Amino acid sequence: MTLTRKGLILAAFQCLLVLSLSGKLLYDRSTCPRVWVKTARWDPNLPIRGRYLALRLAPERDAQWYPQTYGQMVLFFVPEHTLPFETMRAGRDAPELWAEVTIPRKGPPRPIRLAIKKAGQLEPLRIN
């Protein structure tokens, strides 16, 4: 077997591995419960590159998914430009930041999207 053929087999295997993970995440997103959870900021010490929001989930005590989400930490990766809610100060009148998460059978919740709560209504943020 030539080096080119071995390289192509390895590349195909790696592509299948990534596609299988993507398929599993899409399957979980379509079959597992999706819930909105209030968040609190949390600053981790992670050596990864890129911009992300580190959020600690802070559900209400009577929420159905409280045991699966309470105190869990999730990372939400954001684009390079500053988002509108990042400029808001954490004050008394600052809106609440909420995250829609998937609750898988095993493992931590997986964030899907963010929203700001204004006047009792959740407004999903357009992050692209």
CATH number at residue 56: 2.40.50
Query: Comparing 99 with 44, which gets the higher pLDDT?
Result: 99
Token pair 């509108």: residue:
84
Instruction: Provide the pLDDT confidence category of residue 35 given band limits of 50, 70 and 90.
Output: very high
Q: Which two tokens stand for residue 113?
A: 């999207």
Q: How far apart are CA 111 and CA 114, in angstroms?
A: 8
Q: How far apart are CA 76 and CA 73, in angstroms?
A: 10
Range of the domain at 69: 33-124
Are 15 and 50 in a shared domain?
A: no
Q: What is the largest CA-CA distance in the chain?
A: 68
Tens-place pLDDT, residues 64-87:
889 889 989 888 887 776 666 666
Look up the pTM and report it.
Answer: 0.74
Are 82 and 96 in a shared domain?
A: yes
Cα 59 versus chain centre, distance? 15
Lowest mean pLDDT among 15-24, 37-46, 48-57, 96-105: 37-46
